[in-house]
Structure 1
Amino acid sequence: MDFSYPKTEKLKSRKTIDSLFSEGKSVSKFPLRMVYVATDEENTTTTFGVSVSKKNFKKAVDRNYFKRVLRECYRLNKHLIHDNLQKPYAIMFFYQTKERLSYQEINEKTIAIFEKFIRQINEDNLPK
C-alpha cells in the first residue's frame, strides 16, 4: 500500500469545494465531521482536505497542528477508503471541538468515521 499524500490527492479546486458545501453529505464521529460528494469521472482520484475552526483555536500554531494530525491520519488509513470505493470522491474533514485530543484518539476516530463512511456509501448504492 502506498502511504503517500501526493498533490493529486489534495483538495484544491474551488468548484469542488463549493459543490461539497452545497450538495455534499456528511458523516460524524465526535469530534470529527466528514463531508463528501462524488466527483466527475474525469477526476480519477479521491481528493481530501482538512479544516480546523478559528473559533475553537485562536492561534494558527494550534490550528496547523490539528490539520497536520488529520492529514497524517488520512495518509495512514486511506487504504480503508480506496479499497472500498468504485468512483472518486471529494472529502473534507473538520475538527469540531475545543478539546485537545491526542493523536491516538484522533486516529481511532478517523478509522471509525472511515468505516461509517464506507457503510453509508454502500447503503446509498444499494438498488431500491
Structure 2
Amino acid sequence: MYGKKPEIKSIRNRKKIRDILVNGKFYKTKSLKFYFLKNDNLGSDLEFLISVPKKKIKLAVTRNYLKRIIREVICNNNQILNKLYTKTMFIVVFNKNCKIKYVKLEKEILTFTRKIEQ
C-alpha cells in the first residue's frame, strides 16, 4: 500500500552528530527541538537520535520513559515516514521540565514531518 517500510536506525557516530548540528536545519516546537540533515550518502533510509537532557529531567526513569515514547511515536508513524524524503538524519531534543503525554508528542512530531516535506 505504501511501498517498502523505511529502514530506521539510531545515530551513534559523533561525526554524524556534529555534522547534523553544524550543517543541518533546525525546527522547534513547544517541547521538542529538531535538527535534521538530508544526506544522499546515508546507508539506511532514516537515522535518528533522541536526547532528553539530565539538566531538564532529573529522574532517569522519567528520561527513559520519554525516550521510549518518542521512539514509539517515530516507529508507529511508518506511513508518514514513508512519504518523507528518504536518506534523512535527525536529532530530537526534549526541551521541557516535565513529562508530556503521548498524544502531544505525536502531534509535535507530525508537525515536524510536515515541515520536512516542504
In the alignment of these two chains, the number of paired residues is: 116
Q: Does the 8 A contact of 2:9 with 2:44 survive in 1?
A: no
User: Which residue is equivalent to 2:24?
Assistant: 24
TM alignment of 1:60-79, pairs within 5 A: 60-79=60-79
Q: Does the 8 A contact of 1:47 with 1:91 survive in 2?
A: yes
CA 70–78 in structure 1, closer or farther in 2 if over 3 Å, else same: same
| Greater CA drift, 35-44 or 21-30 | 35-44
TM alignment of 1:45-84, pairs within 5 A: 45-84=45-84
Residue identity matched to 1:94: V
User: Which residue is equivalent to 1:95?
Assistant: 94
User: 1:40 and 1:5 mapped to 2: Cα distance?
Assistant: 15
CA 5–44 in structure 1, closer or farther in 2 if over 3 Å, else same: closer
RMSD: 2.2
TM alignment of 1:3-42, pairs within 5 A: 9-42=9-42
Structure 2 segments unaligned to the other structure (5+ residues): none
Query: Cα deviation per residue 1:59-106 (whole Å; 9 max; x = unaligned)?
Result: 111111101111011111243133231x40111111101132111111
Shift of 1:48: 1.0
Shift of 1:42: 4.9
User: Which residue is equivalent to 1:122?
Assistant: none
CA 79–15 in structure 1, closer or farther in 2 if over 3 Å, else same: farther
Q: Percent identity?
A: 22
Shift of 1:38: 2.1
**Runs of at least 4 residues off by over 2 Å:** none
CA 60–5 in structure 1, closer or farther in 2 if over 3 Å, else same: farther
User: 2:6 and 2:75 mapped to 1: Cα distance?
Assistant: 6
Q: Does the 8 A contact of 2:46 with 2:87 survive in 1?
A: yes
User: Which residue is equivalent to 1:115?
Assistant: 114
